[in-house]
């Protein structure tokens, strides 16, 4: 899939960005809106779950380390929920240790990105996810 096609496949899609740092959420939001996606934001996993109860979402991009409910717990909860089991989840974290990456993937995350995210990295990950049949 080309970069243009990858971006076009996310145009108008709903993306939930979950991170306790507003600057990180805003950076990801700016990239995603540049791809034409619609974004919502949450500060932690509990807030994300509340948002997901109220509306449609096509992708979750979540940090790992957050107060209230972290990204591991959020991923596990969503993948164990019949309503959200097939919802793609991309973890984005400063932790580049294999134990964090493997744990997130074992819990059901569809991809893992090391912070800070770049538009090119997100484009690559979104292309992989768009190619997957959910």
Show me where the domains of the chain are located.
3-129
Question: Residue 62 and residue 115: Cα distance in Å, rounded?
Answer: 11
Residue 4 has phi, psi (to 5 degrees) of -65, -45
Question: Could you tell me the fold of the domain covering 3-129?
Answer: Rossmann fold (3.40.50)
Q: Is the pLDDT of residue 4 over 60?
A: no
| pLDDT the model gives residue 3 | 47
- For residues 40-56, give the mean pLDDT: 94
| pLDDT the model gives residue 54 | 82
Q: Is the pLDDT of residue 42 over 50?
A: yes
pLDDT, tens only, 93-104: 999 999 999 999
Helices (H), the chain: 3-10, 22-34, 45-54, 71-79, 98-107, 119-131
Q: Is the pLDDT of residue 15 over 90?
A: yes
């Amino acid at each position: 899939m080309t970069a243009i096609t990858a971006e076009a496949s996310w145009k108008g899609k709903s993306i939930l960005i979950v991170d306790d740092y507003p600057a990180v959420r805003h950076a990801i939001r700016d990239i995603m809106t540049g791809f034409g996606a619609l974004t919502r934001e949450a500060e932690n996993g509990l807030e994300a779950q509340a948002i997901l109860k109220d509306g449609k979402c096509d992708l979750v991009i979540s940090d790992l380390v957050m107060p209230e409910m972290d990204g591991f717990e959020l991923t596990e909860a969503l993948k164990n929920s019949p309503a959200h089991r097939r919802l793609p989840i991309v973890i984005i974290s400063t932790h580049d240790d294999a134990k964090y990456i493997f744990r997130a993937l074992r819990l059901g995350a569809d991809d893992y990105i090391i912070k800070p995210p770049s538009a090119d990295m997100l484009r690559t990950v979104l292309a992989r996810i768009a190619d997957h049949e959910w």
